């Protein structure tokens, strides 16, 4: 059994060494973490697990600025529900991590505190918006982190940084204490270096009434049916991404999984790209929460990020009728995808997490460099559990992720498959 206090000191030594390069954190809580380390029950489920929290989720007594100068002086009065559950299970919170302003960006660059650096290659972006949470885990500055995901914000940076990222079933983890982007799309989830840790964290973070997400870990997956998603989910990927994904599918086949296909364009009755337009209408909810404050800030000479300004301009064109139509479409899409999986007896859907690997941080505007995220986006709309796990590297040594998505509330099956696949591959550590 490791000495928790010693482990926490070693974690802060690692942060002191790498943080000047990686720029993953906005706040560190050395005193609080040291005190917690001395008080943790060694028998607690997550005893001594060091965790960083995205700076849009409240940790009592620490700043929570949402990645924005608009809330520069905000201090969280209490822990969000999921953070309280982590603490009660023995986890040690070491600090808060970088994010795009109001979690509205997909590159991990051009934030008020600068760029977060990809630990695999320092000239590459991490992806976002949970950029600091992904980089901190990939660089082993913490054991795990907490991110949020409205469109792709856990899974994209996790894939770009070569780690595991879980977007659980919608509302399986309470959103208490989380800044709002779109209530019907917002998720909280763990970001880790292995699937078992993600499952253990979900077990303590989830609300009552759900099954044990760790129960199936290590169970055989032979006989499960996994459907690959073709069309634009695969055809528009870089060749190295397609090759790594196909290799991962063959590895799963070797475990006795039944591999089939599902055409979601047909299931959804048309262009899957329309889903992104629906998401913009749903995320226009941000104006209700932040619009007046942003307007006042700008009127007094303040500047918000180009990405946030772009999206607020989009949201301002959206009518109440557009929002109502998008909510109805979301319900329809959830039903169509769930029904298609049930009808074909499909347990898990599989596709590459991202269509490209991490792109350069320099050379274009933040908006121009924003990656296409449709492979992740759809499953935020459906609210299904969706896990990214490392599945190889491109020719430049940059990580590639496989996205495994299950039926609503079948998080344990997704974790079971991810854990089994993980056992077949060896993923080196960044900055080891």
The C-alpha atoms of residue 398 and residue 402 are separated, in whole angstroms, by: 14
151 part of the active site: no
pLDDT score at 364: 56
| Site of tokens 């301002």 | 316
Helix (H/G/I), strand (E/B), else coil: 387: strand
Q: Return the half-sphere exposure (C-beta side, CA atoms, 13 A cut-off) of residue 220.
A: 8
129 part of the active site: yes
pLDDT score at 1: 57
Residues 6+ apart with CB under 8 A from 398: 118, 120, 121, 124, 160, 357, 358
List 57's β-bridge partners, or say none: 178
DSSP label of 193: S
Neighbouring C-beta atoms of residue 363, cutoff 10 Å: 9
The C-alpha atoms of residue 158 and residue 261 are separated, in whole angstroms, by: 25
CA angle, corner 155, sides to 148 and 211, nearest 5?
A: 70
CATH number for the domain spanning 198: value is: 3.90.1300.10
Domains of the chain: total: 1
pLDDT score at 240: 98
Structure tokens at 134: 């992904």
Q: 323-356 burial string, b = 16+ CB within 10 Å, else e?
A: beebeebbeebbeebeebbeeeebbbbbbbbbbb
pLDDT score at 330: 95
DSSP label of 49: -
Which of 278, 373, 387 is closest to 334 using CA atoms?
Answer: 278
Structure tokens at 276: 């992104």
| Site of tokens 């660059």 | 109
The C-alpha atoms of residue 118 and residue 21 are separated, in whole angstroms, by: 10
Dihedral, 151, 374, 243, 356 alpha carbons, nearest 10: -70
Structure tokens at 172: 């399986």
* Residue 427 belongs to a domain: no
Q: Which domain holds residue 354?
A: 4-273+322-422
Structure tokens at 241: 């991404």
pLDDT score at 367: 63
179 part of the active site: no
Question: Which DSSP helix (H) or strand (E) runs through 27?
Answer: strand 25-28
Neighbouring C-beta atoms of residue 301, cutoff 10 Å: 6
At what angle are helices 320-343 and 374-382 packed, to 10 degrees? Answer: 90
The C-alpha atoms of residue 248 and residue 353 are separated, in whole angstroms, by: 12
Choosing from 68, 130, 145, 153, the catalytic residue is 153
Choosing from 54, 96, 167, 216, the catalytic residue is 54
Choosing from 68, 129, 148, 179, the catalytic residue is 129
DSSP label of 44: S
Q: Are 33 and 14 in contact (CB under 8 A)?
A: no
The C-alpha atoms of residue 336 and residue 331 are separated, in whole angstroms, by: 9
* Residue 17 belongs to a domain: yes
CB-based burial label for 298 (10 Å; 0-12, 13-18, 19+): middle
Instruction: Encode the chain (432 residues) as per-residue pLDDT tens digits.
Output: 579 999 999 999 999 999 999 999 999 999 999 999 999 999 999 999 999 999 999 999 999 999 999 999 999 999 999 999 999 999 999 999 999 999 998 899 878 789 999 999 999 999 999 999 999 999 999 999 999 999 999 999 999 999 999 999 999 999 999 999 999 999 999 999 999 999 999 999 999 999 999 999 999 999 999 999 988 899 889 999 999 999 999 999 999 999 999 999 899 987 777 787 788 899 999 999 999 999 988 988 888 988 899 889 999 999 999 999 999 999 999 999 999 999 999 999 999 999 999 999 987 566 655 666 779 999 999 999 999 999 999 999 999 999 999 999 999 999 999 999 999 998 878 865
* Residue 390 belongs to a domain: yes
The C-alpha atoms of residue 118 and residue 362 are separated, in whole angstroms, by: 13
* Residue 298 belongs to a domain: no
* Whole-prediction pTM: 0.97
* Residue 237 belongs to a domain: yes
- 19-63 pLDDT tens trace: 999 999 999 999 999 999 999 999 999 999 999 999 999 999 999
* Residue 201 belongs to a domain: yes
* Residue 313 belongs to a domain: no
Which of 369, 366, 362 is closest to 306 using CA atoms?
Answer: 366
* Residue 287 belongs to a domain: no
pLDDT score at 265: 87
Which of 387, 376, 356 is closest to 226 using CA atoms?
Answer: 387
**H runs (alpha helix) in 225-344:** 232-235, 239-254, 264-267, 274-283, 285-299, 306-315, 320-343
Q: Are 199 and 176 in contact (CB under 8 A)?
A: no
């Amino acid at each position: 059994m490791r000495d928790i206090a010693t482990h926490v000191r070693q974690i802060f030594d690692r942060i002191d060494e790498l943080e000047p390069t990686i720029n993953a954190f906005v706040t560190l809580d050395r005193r609080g973490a040291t005190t917690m380390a001395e008080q943790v029950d060694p028998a607690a489920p997550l005893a001594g697990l060091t965790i960083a929290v995205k700076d849009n989720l409240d940790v009592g007594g620490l700043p929570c600025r949402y990645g924005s100068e608009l809330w520069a002086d905000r201090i969280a009065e209490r822990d969000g529900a999921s953070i309280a559950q982590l603490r009660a299970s023995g986890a040690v919170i070491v600090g808060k991590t970088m994010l795009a302003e109001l979690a509205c960006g997909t590159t991990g660059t051009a934030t008020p505190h600068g760029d977060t650096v990809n630990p695999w290659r320092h000239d590459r972006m991490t992806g976002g918006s949970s950029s600091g949470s992904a980089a901190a885990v990939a660089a082993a500055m913490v054991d795990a982190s907490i991110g949020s995901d409205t469109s792709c914000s856990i899974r994209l940076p996790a894939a770009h940084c070569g780690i595991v990222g879980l977007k659980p079933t919608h509302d399986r983890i309470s959103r208490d204490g989380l800044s709002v982007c779109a209530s019907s799309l917002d998720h909280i989830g763990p970001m880790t270096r292995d699937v078992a840790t993600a499952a253990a964290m979900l077990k303590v973070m989830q609300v009552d009434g759900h099954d044990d997400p760790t129960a199936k870990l290590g169970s055989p997956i032979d006989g499960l049916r996994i459907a690959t998603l073709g069309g634009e989910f695969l055809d528009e990927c870089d060749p190295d991404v397609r090759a790594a994904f196909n290799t991962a599918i063959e590895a799963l086949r070797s475990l006795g999984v039944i591999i089939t296909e599902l055409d979601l364009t047909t299931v959804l009755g048309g262009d899957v790209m329309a889903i992104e337009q629906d998401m913009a209408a749903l995320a226009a909810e941000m104006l209700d929460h932040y619009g007046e404050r942003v307007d006042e800030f700008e009127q007094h000479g303040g500047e918000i990020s180009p990405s946030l300004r772009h999206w607020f301009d989009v949201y301002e064109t959206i009518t109440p009728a557009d929002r109502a139509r998008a909510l109805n479409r979301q319900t329809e899409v959830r039903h169509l995808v769930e029904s298609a999986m049930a009808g074909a007896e499909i347990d898990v859907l599989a596709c590459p997490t991202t269509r490209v690997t991490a792109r350069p941080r320099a050379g274009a505007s933040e908006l121009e460099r924003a990656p296409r995220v449709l492979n992740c986006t759809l499953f935020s709309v459906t609210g299904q559990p969706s896990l990214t796990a490392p599945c190889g590297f491109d020719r430049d040594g940059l990580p590639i992720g496989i996205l495994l998505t299950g039926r609503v509330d079948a998080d344990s099956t997704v974790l079971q498959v991810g854990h089994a696949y993980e056992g077949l591959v060896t993923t080196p550590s960044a900055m080891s």
